[in-house]
């Protein structure tokens, strides 16, 4: 997602473009299109399976301590 909504006002929406490092003032209709596009990108990211974390250390049952 290259553009992020910064602030919504009564007259329009401020949008930040991270590649151009500029902010823009767009209409509410254009902002709605950006929000719909970003929602589709987020759902695509969630569709990819994430690798499961594995433990590298033994469990506490395996650890032995000397107690007297």
Residue 25 lies in a domain: yes
Spatial neighbors of 31 by CB under 8 A, at least 6 apart, are 5, 8, 12, 13, 15
| DSSP secondary structure string for all residues of 13-61 | EEEEETTTTEEEEE-HHHHHHHHHHHHHHHHHHHHSPPPPP---SPPTT
pLDDT at position 25 is 93
Residue 31 belongs to a domain: yes
Of 1-5, 7-11, 36-40, 42-46, the range with the lowest mean pLDDT is 42-46
Name which of 65, 5, 62 is nearest 32 in CA terms.
Answer: 5
pLDDT digits (tens, 9 = 90+) for 36-58: 887 666 566 566 666 676 766 65
Domain membership flag for residue 35: yes
Q: Is residue 54 part of a domain?
A: no
The C-alpha atoms of residue 46 and residue 53 are separated, in whole angstroms, by: 17
* Residue 22 pLDDT class (50, 70, 90 cuts): very high
| Domains identified in the chain, total number | 1
Answer whether residue 53 is part of any domain.
no
| 27 assigned to some structural domain | yes
Range of the domain at 35: 3-45
């Amino acid at each position: 997602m290259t553009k992020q909504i910064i602030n919504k006002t009564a007259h329009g929406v401020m949008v930040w473009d991270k590649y151009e490092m500029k902010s823009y003032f767009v209409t509410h209709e254009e902002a709605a299109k950006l929000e719909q596009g970003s929602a589709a990108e987020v759902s695509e990211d969630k569709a990819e399976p994430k690798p499961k974390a594995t433990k590298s250390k033994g469990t506490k049952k395996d650890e032995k301590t000397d107690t007297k």
